[in-house]
Amino acid sequence: MPRQIRAETTRHNIIAAAVDVFGHLGYGRASLNDIISGAGVTKGSLYFHFDSKEALARAVIDASVDQLRAELTNITSSRAPALEKFIHCCFVTAVLFREEALLRTGGRLLLEIGDFRGAEGESFQDWTGVVRAVVQAAVDQGDIDDGLDLDELTSGVTSALSGAFFASEALGGRTDVVGRLETVWRLLVRAAVPPAGQSYFQEFLSRETATARAGAVTPDADTPAG
């Protein structure tokens, strides 16, 4: 194998072993020795790629954010209404957290590492701008009450939705993330969608929840519910 490809393969194997070890033991209990033996590499080889346990954990967080972005691209680039895409993205993310070890471990490390950042310094903060733009688009499309303050709404929605993921991690080992997301979205729809859209969006939520429970979420928001 050419040297660069070999290095990439090694790095990939180390990350895969790290996902396994961090995912099972958590950041505090995981040791680099476990990861070295899981990856089948030498200590020198691991240190060539990662300075420390922390650097490796941050690389796992970055890889999980990259995977999430890639999975959501089809949805965010579709022409469905903004609020439908936003809801759909949340449920797809919930299913990915439930089923994909990389995302599950990335999410866990984001909590455990304390500052909510990966190696590239990107943080949860960056998502606030994304949510704000989506909320603005939904207001423009008449799906969110235009009497609400945009910044307040962005802050409240971001907090409440992140709470569905955090509380699921804290209370249910993530198995109930879809159910928690449903109950939070039902309250958000009641709070923010104009009366004319209430029954449509509550039904949209029922359909998203049913699909996510069945585990058959596809990253495609072009098929409208209702």
Residue 71: both structure tokens together: 């999975």
Instruction: State in angstroms the smallest separation of the CB of 187 from a copy of itself.
Output: 4
Taking CB under 8 A as the binding criterion, the range among 73-81, 85-93, 150-158, 206-214 that sits at the site for a copy of itself is 150-158
Q: Are 201 and 193 in contact (CB under 8 A)?
A: yes
State the distance between the two ends of the chain, measured CA to CA, in whole angstroms.
53
Distances in Å between the alpha carbon of 142 and those of 78, 125, 128, 165?
18, 27, 21, 28
Q: Which of 155, 59, 52 is nearest to 110 (CA)?
A: 59
Instruction: State in angstroms the smallest separation of the CB of 53 from a copy of itself.
Output: 8
Residue ranges in 127-146 that form contacts with a copy of itself under rule CB under 8 A: 128
Closer to a copy of itself by Cβ: residue 80 or 108: 108
Interaction pattern, residues 94-123, with a copy of itself; x per rule: CB under 8 A: --------------x-xxxxxxx------x
Query: Which residue from 32, 156, 213, 219 is in contact with a copy of itself, where contact means CB under 8 A?
Result: 156
Distances in Å between the alpha carbon of 45 and those of 14, 26, 34, 39, 42?
9, 23, 14, 10, 5
**Rounded-to-5 percentages of helix, strand, coil across the chain:** 75, 0, 25
Is residue 45 close enough to count as binding a copy of itself by CB under 8 A?
Answer: no
Is residue 208 close enough to count as binding a copy of itself by CB under 8 A?
Answer: no
Residue 86: both structure tokens together: 């936003």
Is residue 39 close enough to count as binding a copy of itself by CB under 8 A?
Answer: no
Is residue 150 close enough to count as binding a copy of itself by CB under 8 A?
Answer: no
Q: Are 158 and 131 in contact (CB under 8 A)?
A: yes
Query: Which residue from 32, 48, 53, 219 is in contact with a copy of itself, where contact means CB under 8 A?
Result: 53
- The secondary element (H helix, E strand) that includes residue 131 is helix 125-140
Interaction pattern, residues 159-178, with a copy of itself; x per rule: CB under 8 A: xxxxxx-xxxxxx-------
Is residue 157 close enough to count as binding a copy of itself by CB under 8 A?
Answer: yes
Residues that bind a copy of itself (CB under 8 A): 26-29, 53-54, 108, 110-116, 123-125, 128, 152-153, 155-164, 166-171, 179-180, 182-184, 186-188, 190-192
